[in-house]
């Protein structure tokens, strides 16, 4: 519906409303078929479109209304909308009834896209085919369920059941739209639905009857024009002192088989859609006729309808072409709606369903989905409006925008009348349909608007860009804040690490002190080890705490620190002659190490030597005892041997059982065995000692300490050599004895072990 052109012939005072009212208005209906279904009135600039499309059978048709407002933020609260009240659920014939629509003057005002579903009654042929079965069930004033498989629930702004009268529908949907137009906002209404679903009935009704204002069967279009002119009249009367003058013009066109036809001038065929900066998108050479009453509009409408029937030839091929183009235009419209809705959400809406055998089911479902998508255009606008952040951000944005507005106003418009704070520009971010009211230059078409008002377009684009910049800055701020938090965390961890490192440093210092004490023999090795262990446990605990607190950060921080330190060291290593210093230090450390080693070896050698000496003494004694025993034994062996020789010579073959001698011999052999064992042990020990001495000797030579000068050492070595010689003699004697046949025989006789 349109707001009439309103001119003020008074003093030139241009209130905001007068300024808006100075716009032209237009009502248009785009018909895919049949001029009788179309109406189009246009008096110039501001337009109200009434678009009608082919739709479906016994089931709902939808009315999509779009009002173009500058500053409204559309509420998304569909449930609880006071536009209707519920009385009862179902009538006896199974149809829903009792959801009474309530008038709401703000119906169009508060929403930029409204979708109304109208359910028509079943006709007689449908009843005869399917009885009272319906494919939808109304659940409330705003919700209905498509009773397919699976059932799908839909929500709309209003649902008019089959009992809703034409007049009621007009009051609910038509009147607020006219009021909206009178307030200066672009408006459009169109019907969509399957063929036979009731679009014509809803939008036009009985056109002839529409000639008589408020005819019971007349529908939205005639009623709207009737109401429009009454409102114009009322406006004139109310503001008679302003001497307002309204101009309304209308035009009617038909898009049929992809061609545009001027229904009020049938000779004008194949009109072209143009677009220029001044008028935006428009149909070139489309006639506009001034109208001053509802009767004028209806007359034009009837004339337009006749022009359709005059041209229709009804040829068969033409019908096919027509059907193809209808489908084409419908699918294009569907795509447009889909694009508008999904481009705002970035996610297309899809309600999966299974095709039904009954054709009405599928088509009804399709219509409901289409209508639902239309709703998303509006809903998305809300989302975009509300997605701009918290209150503080919003405040900041507003401040920024105000500044930007002032700046741009100076740059672009240069003194153009400033816009009110309530806003004359509606920016629906994210939606390609930037539908706006811009006062006297308003046009319905978004594209037209943008082209004709390029400075304002730039202005708005600049605003949008400014808003985007603000968002970007906000994001940057958030990122910085996050970085700061992370940095703070790191500082805390670093502090903790420093504390731990100090603790560890203290441990190390204590450890050095302990080593010093150990070196100067103030501390016993056992005590040192115990203390060292205790301190190390503490240090381990500190490290564990450090790691457990934040292993990741700590690890990274430590790595970082180590790398920095490494870098610093490498730098100074190269730059400050550190390499030379280090070489010096290494040689000093080497010297110190050698000294320490010498000292250590000295001490170790002395104590070892003392121990060795004692052992040698013990061995010496043991060896002396063994030698004495051995001498005795040798003497006795010699005696026995001579006895044996004597017996042999005397021919005494069998040894007499001399028990005392035998016992004595056994004891001797046992003693020899023990002595031999001792000898062997002494021999082993002597070899080990000789090796150790040899090692010590080499060390001593290295240290240039003439340990061999030590008399004790010499003596010990001497003794040791003697012992070794003695041992060798003993061993040789032992071997010799053991090799003797008579001794072997004796051992065999006494069952003694042989070597
Ligand atoms: N709400 C309603 N109450 C009573 N009858 C209705 C209603 N809606 C539609 N009808 C009737 O249903 C029939 C088909 O309606 P209509 O011609 O308006 O459908 P349409 O959608 O315009 O179809 P097409 O696209 O084929 O032109 C008409 O006889 C009409 O009177």
CA angle 439-443-447, nearest 5°? Answer: 125
pLDDT of residue 286: 92
pLDDT of residue 231: 92
Q: Which two tokens stand for residue 578?
A: 């550190």
Residue 163 Cβ inside 6 Å of ligand 1? The answer reads no
Which residues are documented as binding site? 193-200
pLDDT of residue 78: 27
- Ligand 1, closest atom to CA 119? 1
For ligand 1, the distance from its centroid to the CA atom of residue 192, given in whole angstroms, is: 12
Residue 4 Cβ inside 6 Å of ligand 1? The answer reads no
Structural class in CATH, domain 5-386: alpha beta
Residue 195 Cβ inside 6 Å of ligand 1? The answer reads yes
- Ligand 1, closest atom to CA 191? 21
For ligand 1, the distance from its centroid to the CA atom of residue 365, given in whole angstroms, is: 18
Ligand 1, from 198, 203, 220, 256: best to mutate by most atoms within 8 Å of Cβ?
198
User: Are 689 and 681 contacting, i.e. CB atoms less than 8 angstroms apart?
Assistant: no
Residue 193 Cβ inside 6 Å of ligand 1? The answer reads yes
Q: DSSP string spanning 107-150?
A: TTTS-SEEEEEEPPPP-HHHHHHHTT--SEEE-SSSEEEE-SSS
Atom 1 (ligand 1) nearest CA = 120
- Ligand 1, closest atom to CA 54? 25
Rounded distance, CA 186 to CA 2, Å? 7
- Ligand 1, closest atom to CA 203? 18
CA angle 152-158-163, nearest 5°? Answer: 95
CA angle 454-456-462, nearest 5°? Answer: 105
Residue 184 Cβ inside 6 Å of ligand 1? The answer reads no
Residue 330 Cβ inside 6 Å of ligand 1? The answer reads no
pLDDT of residue 631: 73
Exposed/middle/buried for 753, CB within 10 Å: 0-12, 13-18, 19+?
exposed
- Ligand 1, closest atom to CA 118? 1
DSSP structure class, residue 110: S
Query: If we measure between CA atoms, which residue out of 16, 18, 111 comes closest to residue 73?
Result: 111
pLDDT of residue 290: 92
- Ligand 1, closest atom to CA 56? 21
Query: If we measure between CA atoms, which residue out of 449, 455, 450, 459 comes closest to residue 406?
Result: 459
Cα radius of gyration rounded to whole Å, the chain: 58
Could you say which residues of the chain have pLDDT below 50? 1-59, 66-92, 94, 213, 311-313, 343-355, 357, 378-390, 414-453, 651-659, 752-755
pLDDT of residue 466: 72
Atom 11 (ligand 1) nearest CA = 198
Q: What's the N-to-C CA distance of the chain in angstroms? A: 135
Pairing of strands 259-262, 253-256: antiparallel
DSSP structure class, residue 305: H
**Residue 641: CB partners within 8 Å, gap ≥ 6?**
740, 742, 743
Q: Which two tokens stand for residue 67?
A: 């009002």
Task: Give the count of beta carbons closer than 10 Å to the beta carbon of residue 344.
Answer: 23
ipTM of predicted complex: 0.98
Reported for 387-395, long-range contacts at CB under 8 A and 24+ positions apart, including other chains, are: 388/467, 388/471, 389/471, 389/474, 393/474
Atom 26 (ligand 1) nearest CA = 195
Rounded distance, CA 103 to CA 185, Å? 20
Residue 197 Cβ inside 6 Å of ligand 1? The answer reads yes
Residue 60 Cβ inside 6 Å of ligand 1? The answer reads no
Residue 679 Cβ inside 6 Å of ligand 1? The answer reads no
Atom 8 (ligand 1) nearest CA = 198
pTM of the complete model: 0.43
Ligand 1, from 197, 206, 217, 219: best to mutate by most atoms within 8 Å of Cβ?
197
Query: If we measure between CA atoms, which residue out of 431, 412, 207 comes closest to residue 339?
Result: 431
For ligand 1, the distance from its centroid to the CA atom of residue 259, given in whole angstroms, is: 26
- Ligand 1, closest atom to CA 53? 25
For ligand 1, the distance from its centroid to the CA atom of residue 114, given in whole angstroms, is: 22
Tell me: the pLDDT tens digits for 186-224?
777 888 888 888 888 888 876 665 555 455 556 788 889
Rounded distance, CA 79 to CA 87, Å? 16
Furthest C-alpha separation in the chain: 182
Which residues are documented as binding site for ATP? 193-200
Q: What are the φ/ψ torsions at residue 710 (nearest 5 degrees)?
A: -60, 125
In the chain, residues under CATH classification 3.40.850.10 are 5-386
For ligand 1, the distance from its centroid to the CA atom of residue 198, given in whole angstroms, is: 3
- Ligand 1, closest atom to CA 193? 21
CA 702 to chain centre: 72
pLDDT of residue 700: 65
Residue 196 Cβ inside 6 Å of ligand 1? The answer reads yes
Residue 200 Cβ inside 6 Å of ligand 1? The answer reads yes
Residues for the chain: how many in total? 755
Q: Which two tokens stand for residue 422?
A: 């309530």
**Residue 593: CB partners within 8 Å, gap ≥ 6?**
none
pLDDT of residue 228: 92
Residue 52 Cβ inside 6 Å of ligand 1? The answer reads no
Q: Is residue 119 classed as helix, strand or coil in its secondary structure?
A: coil
Residue 199 Cβ inside 6 Å of ligand 1? The answer reads yes
- Reduce the secondary structure of 621-636 to three states and give it as a string: HHHHHHHHHHHHHHHH
pLDDT of residue 434: 31
Q: DSSP string spanning 413-458?
A: ISSPPPPPTT-S----TT-S------GGG--SSHHHHHHHTHHHHH
pLDDT of residue 102: 73
């Amino acid at each position: 519906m349109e707001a009439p052109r309103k001119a003020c012939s008074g003093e030139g005072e241009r209130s905001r409303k007068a300024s808006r009212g100075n716009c032209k208005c237009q009502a248009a209906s785009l018909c895919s078929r049949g001029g009788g279904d179309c109406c189009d009135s246009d008096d110039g600039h501001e337009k109200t479109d009434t678009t009608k499309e082919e739709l479906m059978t016994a089931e709902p048709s939808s009315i999509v209304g779009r009002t173009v407002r500058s500053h409204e933020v559309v509420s998304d609260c569909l449930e609880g909308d006071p536009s209707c009240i519920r009385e009862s659920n179902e009538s006896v014939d199974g149809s829903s009834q009792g959801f009474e629509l309530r008038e709401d003057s703000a119906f169009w005002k508060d929403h930029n896209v409204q979708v109304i579903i109208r359910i028509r009654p079943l006709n007689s042929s449908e009843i005869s085919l399917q009885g009272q079965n319906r494919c939808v069930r109304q659940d409330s004033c705003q919700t209905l369920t498509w009773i397919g498989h699976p059932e799908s629930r839909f929500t709309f702004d209003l649902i008019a059941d089959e009992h809703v009268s034409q007049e009621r529908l007009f009051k609910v949907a038509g009147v607020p739209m006219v009021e909206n137009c009178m307030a200066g906002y672009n408006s459009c209404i169109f019907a969509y639905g399957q063929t036979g679903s009731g679009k014509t009935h809803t939008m036009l009704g009985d056109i002839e009857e529409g000639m008589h204002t408020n005819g019971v069967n007349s529908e939205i279009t005639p009623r709207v024009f009737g109401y429009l002119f009454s409102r114009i009249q009322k406006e004139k009367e109310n503001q008679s002192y302003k001497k307002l003058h309204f101009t309304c013009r209308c035009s009617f066109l038909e898009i049929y088989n992809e061609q545009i036809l001027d229904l009020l001038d049938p000779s004008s065929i194949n009109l072209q859609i143009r677009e220029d900066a001044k008028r935006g998108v428009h149909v070139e050479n489309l006639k506009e006729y001034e109208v001053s009453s509802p009767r004028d509009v209806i007359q034009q409408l009837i004339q337009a309808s006749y022009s359709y029937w005059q041209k229709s030839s009804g040829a068969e091929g033409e019908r096919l072409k027509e059907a193809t183009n209808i489908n084409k235009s419908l699918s294009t419209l569907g795509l447009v709606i889909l694009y508008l809705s999904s481009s705002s959400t970035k996610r297309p809406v899809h309600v999966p369903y299974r095709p039904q055998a009954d054709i009405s089911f599928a088509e009804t479902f399709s219509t409901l989905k289409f209508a639902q998508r239309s709703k998303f255009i509006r809903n998305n606008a809300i989302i975009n409006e509300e997605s701009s952040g918290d209150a503080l951000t919003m405040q900041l944005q507003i401040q920024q925008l105000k500044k930007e507005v002032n700046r741009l106003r100076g740059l672009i418009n240069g003194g153009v009348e400033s816009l009110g704070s309530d806003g004359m520009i509606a920016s629906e971010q994210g939606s390609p349909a930037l539908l706006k009211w811009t006062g006297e230059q308003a046009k319905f078409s978004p594209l037209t608007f943008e082209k004709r008002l390029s400075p304002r377009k730039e202005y708005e684009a600049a605003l949008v860009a400014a808003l985007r910049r603000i968002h970007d800055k906000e994001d940057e701020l958030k990122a910085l804040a996050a970085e700061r938090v992370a940095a703070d965390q790191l500082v805390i961890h670093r502090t903790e690490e420093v504390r731990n490192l100090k603790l560890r440093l203290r441990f190390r210092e204590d450890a050095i002190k302990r080593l010093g004490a150990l070196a100067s023999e103030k501390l016993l090795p056992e005590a040192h080890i115990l203390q060292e262990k205790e301190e190390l446990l503490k240090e381990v605990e500190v490290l564990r705490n450090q790691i457990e607190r934040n292993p990741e950060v700590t690890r990274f921080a430590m790595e970082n620190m180590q790398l920095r330190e490494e870098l610093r060291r490498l730098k100074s290593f190269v730059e400050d002659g550190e390499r030379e210093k280090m070489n010096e230090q290494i040689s000093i450390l080497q010297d110190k190490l050698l000294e320490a080693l010498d000292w250590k070896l000295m001490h170790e050698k002395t104590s070892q030597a003392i121990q060795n000496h004692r052992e040698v003494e013990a061995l010496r004694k043991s060896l002396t005892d063994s030698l004495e025993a051995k001498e005795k034994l040798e003497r006795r062996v010699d005696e026995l041997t001579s006895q044996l020789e004597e017996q042999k010579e005397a021919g005494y073959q069998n040894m007499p059982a001399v028990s005392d001698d035998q016992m004595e011999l056994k004891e001797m052999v046992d003693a020899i065995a023990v002595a031999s064992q001792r000898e062997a042990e002494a021999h082993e020990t002597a070899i080990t000692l000789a090796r150790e001495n040899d090692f010590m000797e080499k060390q001593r030579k290295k240290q240039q300490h003439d340990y061999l000068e030590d008399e004790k050492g010499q003596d010990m070595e001497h003794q040791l050599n003697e012992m070794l010689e003695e041992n060798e003699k003993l061993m040789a004697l032992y071997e010799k004895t053991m090799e003797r046949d008579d001794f072997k025989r004796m051992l065999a006789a006494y069952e003694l072990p042989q070597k």
